[in-house]
A and B are shown apart, each in its own frame.
Chain A
Amino acid sequence: MSDIVLETKGLTKYFYEPTKFKVLDNITMSVNHGEFVSIVGKSGCGKSTLLYLLSTMDTDYEGEILIHEELVTGQSDNDLARIRNGKIGFVFQFHYLLSEYNVLKNVMLPGLKLQQYSEAEIEHRAMEHLKTLGMEDQALKMPNQLSGGQKQRVAIARALINNPLIIMGDEPTGNLDKRNSDLVFDIFKELTQEYNQTLLVVTHDPDFAARTNRIITMEDGKIIV
């Protein structure tokens, strides 16, 4: 296996509402194993749209996406779901957790879906991740009993549960105060440094971006740096 975890070739996407316009224009990029990459750019330049394509949730585009050198473009809904489940961890800005399950179950759910380990093993691993993130004493709480920063840490634990190739984040600190943002950033930093975890994070926070390994800057649907 090569070192490239994620690669795109000439990604182009249009929106047709209200009028046809090119939201992504011929994006070619790649992320190497163990890299902590940030994507920055003005609001509305297409960062989120790009991330949705990369996460395989949005399939309406031209060009190619390869994850671990496997072409994901054109795969079926079921196969894409499997790829998302096993290879990609996702951290959103707002959409945190399933309100019907407690913290521990929320973290375990993608693991239960993947069925790579036994339920007991998944629970053990989930507790380990929560411990790493300083959340083990909240494990049995319901999501609505947590603060925003705590929820985001649970979401990170959930993203980690299946040992994903890459964790993607769409402004994961955008909704947090300075102290919690720093906390989340430190967690990301620790994940790359200690566990060699690959990270691709969209951010509007220049401080945040400055402390990552590599910055991709976008403007009007193109990568400029």
Chain B
Amino acid sequence: MNYRLILNIAVHLLRARLKQTIVAAAGVTFGIAMFITLLGFMNGLNDLLDGLMLNRTPHVRLYNEIKPVENQPVNLSEKYKNATNFITSIKPKDRGKAIYNSKTIIKVLKEDKRIVDVAPKVSTPVFFNSGTIEISGIINGISVTAEEELFKFSDYITDGNIADLEQNNSIIIGSGLAKKMMLERGDIIKVTTPKGNLASLKIVGISQIGIAEIDDVMSTTSLSTSQKILGESTNYITDIQLKLHDISLAPQLAKEFSTQFGVDTIDYQTANSQFETGSTVRSIISYAVGIVLLIVAGFGIYNILNMMIYEKMDSIAILKATGFSGNDVKWIFLSLSMIIGIAGGILGLIFGLLFSGIIDTIPFETASLPTIKTYPINYNMLYYIIGITFALVTTVIAGLLPALKASKIDPVEIIRGK
């Protein structure tokens, strides 16, 4: 088959119907542009929310949960081994929230090749006192460098400097706390620990991570400061947070470390399962809208090709009479459809990119997301590849029926009809 000739004929047929061709291509362009824009925007939002969570949640967290001992004495007893034991009113034993032998665990974890970084943490509930007000909250004692590496904590400090935490008895408090207690950087805040220890800490910064419940209670000190106000040694660690090279390994590693070190673990996926659902729903919506738009564009192409075939019956008859086979005619009309699809699709990609770019510059400032200045857009190549593939598939499908119809046109019937 002579593809150049077929393509040439297709182009000439299109040129004779330029207006309809443009309308048909515009349909595809619109569908693809919308698809790209929506997907880019929705996924930009997903990334933003993922980032928000990812920056707050370690890939794997090791901690001690307060819970009853799993193997109660009666279960260990040989005598009642084959009996069904009913135990009621179990009280959890306070093994302390500290991770036993934390120094060794951290050392082992730091040597693990699958782990990027290890951030030890001391987390404790406290009361903040300011004048006559007493507010419950949380102090996170962090290793400044490791925390910065894992969570980019400095992004969330709206006032002050993370390095100042290294000073003795310094604290960064959540924006909600600061507002409630009318505190500013430079002020002194009094803290009461659960064991009744009292301490005065100097506020060196205000943090805002964008989730009100957290900003209302959370404050941050250095590891040593937190250990000191709790009256504990430098071995006292309540959480070990891990960042992995491959986040998909988190559930597996969480299980592994749980048995290896005899601690409780939670992985990123389990901790954020509800967020995953939201992301998936947004993706589905954008794909669905894109596909619907393309189907509509497909019907447009189908109509225009049908019309064109109706108008070009004579031309088809002449082509067939002069030696073009049904197959040639089919390819002429399929090429026609594909030209519309490719042209419309590429324009759609360009417009999609353009619209995304425009949305990307629209200001989007919200108090809860201090690092975000404009609407987020994801420019993933994949969406563009999917878009152009959709455009081609839709146009080929839309063109197939008319093309088959054209290939079956009986020239005798047309020639006789005159």
Q: Which of A48, A55, A114, A162 contacts B321 (CB 8 A)?
A: A55
How far does the alpha carbon of A218 sit from the alpha carbon of B314 in the complex, in Å?
29
**Quick one: which of B16, B315, B319, B321 has the most chain A CB within 10 A?**
B321
Chain B contacts of A55 at CB under 8 A? 321
Chain A nearest CB: distance from B407 CB in Å?
9
How far does the alpha carbon of A109 sit from the alpha carbon of B323 in the complex, in Å?
10
Chain A nearest CB: distance from B361 CB in Å?
45
B321 touches A94 (CB 8 A): no
B323 touches A94 (CB 8 A): no
Chain B nearest CB: distance from A15 CB in Å?
11
A92 touches B323 (CB 8 A): no
Chain B contacts of A170 at CB under 8 A? 415
Chain B nearest CB: distance from A89 CB in Å?
9
Known A98-B315, A112-B5, A113-B2; contact A81-B12, beta-carbon cutoff 8 A: no
B327 touches A110 (CB 8 A): no
Known A52-B412, A81-B328; contact A113-B5, beta-carbon cutoff 8 A: yes
Known A81-B328, A93-B418; contact A57-B321, beta-carbon cutoff 8 A: yes
B: number of interface residues (CB 8 Å) = 28
How far does the alpha carbon of A84 sit from the alpha carbon of B317 in the complex, in Å?
13
Chain A nearest CB: distance from B2 CB in Å?
6
10 residue pairs of the A-B complex, CB under 8 angstroms, read: A55-B321, A57-B320, A57-B411, A57-B415, A58-B412, A84-B323, A85-B322, A95-B418, A101-B12, A109-B5
A78 touches B320 (CB 8 A): no
Provide the A73-98 mask, 1 if CB < 8 A to any CB of B, else 0.
00001101110111000101111111
Q: Does A100 contact B (CB under 8 A)?
A: yes
Known A78-B327, A81-B328, A94-B418; contact A100-B16, beta-carbon cutoff 8 A: yes
A97 touches B5 (CB 8 A): no
Nearest B-chain residue to A162, judged by Cβ: B323
Interface residues of B in 1-33 (CB under 8 A from A): 2, 5, 9, 12-13, 15-16
Chain B nearest CB: distance from A42 CB in Å?
17
Interface residues of B in 300-319 (CB under 8 A from A): 314-315, 317-319
How far does the alpha carbon of A37 sit from the alpha carbon of B314 in the complex, in Å?
28
Binding site for B on A (CB under 8 A): 48, 52, 55, 57-58, 77-78, 80-82, 84-86, 90, 92-101, 109-110, 112-115, 158, 162, 170
How far does the alpha carbon of A197 sit from the alpha carbon of B290 in the complex, in Å?
61
Chain A contacts of B2 at CB under 8 A? 112-113, 115
Provide the B374-412 mask, 1 if CB < 8 A to any CB of A, else 0.
000000000000000000000000000000000000111
Sample of 20 further A-B pairs with CB below 8 A, known A98-B319, A109-B5, A162-B323: A48-B416, A57-B410, A58-B412, A77-B325, A77-B326, A81-B320, A84-B322, A84-B323, A92-B415, A93-B418, A95-B314, A97-B318, A99-B16, A100-B12, A100-B13, A100-B315, A101-B12, A112-B2, A113-B2, A114-B323
Q: Does B324 contact A (CB under 8 A)?
A: yes
B318 touches A98 (CB 8 A): yes
Chain A contacts of B321 at CB under 8 A? 55, 57, 84, 90, 92, 95
Nearest B-chain residue to A82, judged by Cβ: B323
Nearest A-chain residue to B5, judged by Cβ: A112
Q: Which of A85, A95, A115 contacts B415 (CB 8 A)?
A: A95
Nearest A-chain residue to B314, judged by Cβ: A95
Interface residues of B in 159-176 (CB under 8 A from A): none
How far does the alpha carbon of A144 sit from the alpha carbon of B135 in the complex, in Å?
91
Nearest A-chain residue to B411, judged by Cβ: A57
A110 touches B412 (CB 8 A): no
Provide the B142-153 mask, 1 if CB < 8 A to any CB of A, else 0.
000000000000
